[in-house]
Structure 1
Amino acid sequence: MDKDLILTELDYKAVRSSGPGGQHANKTATKVELAFDISNSEALSDYEKRRISRKLSGRINKDGVLKMSSEDSRSQHTNKEIVTQNFLFELREALKKQKPRKKTKPTKASKLKRLKAKKKKSEIKANRKDPLK
């Protein structure tokens, strides 16, 4: 993954943001939408493209374009930085390899402890019963 090349392949679009802001929000485009065409990217290998497509399938449209947006700030520049950082974080997370899970067995001591607890519980319940019946 070549970060600098990926940053050149990003498409940004500024649109009007929803929510509070009054007149300011009605006349300025502060929300930033980021689009990244995964299938036509030269910065990613085929393996990385497949992995990202699988991991981030919920954010990728049918054309193979990953879309993200930010409208946290009232500043377009700040929103652009935020969405870029979020995008890079998501890419890094998608490309991370998970460690394989190691199977474990309960220890002999833990098995004995469990059996002793069961035995004690059954004795307590047995002592509750009416001895005449």
Structure 2
Amino acid sequence: MPASNLTKLCLTLILVSMLAACANFVQDQRARDRQAAIDQAMKDHERCEQEGHSFPSTGYTRCRQSLQDQREARQLHALRLIDPEDPATARDPHHRPTTARGDFRCEEREWGQTRWIDCRTYY
């Protein structure tokens, strides 16, 4: 096999290996992100239950929405500290009319052996 063909083969193998590693990293990151979201949802669920709310009551949904709003407010505050001119403040739920906030709903979900109550805003 001529040297140029061997070089091309080696470069192709290296490229394929790198692409496979990147794909695995992205897949692993998605799984970590999903697990973090599930963990947060479970913590929020426990907190709302400790406050006397049970799924699927209106009080439970309000409790979960309040926790989500508080989390978003902390994130936006941190963003403003980093860059006060950042347009991310336009996404602040407290600066939008309540009718523009969308429909906040809680639904039971399952991923593998894990069951949790997922709450989010649907626009």
Smaller-chain TM-score range?
Answer: under 0.3
TM-score by length of 1: 0.25
Between Structure 1 and Structure 2, the one with more helix by share is: 2
TM-score by length of 2: 0.26
Based on CA coordinates, which of the two structures has the bigger radius of gyration?
1
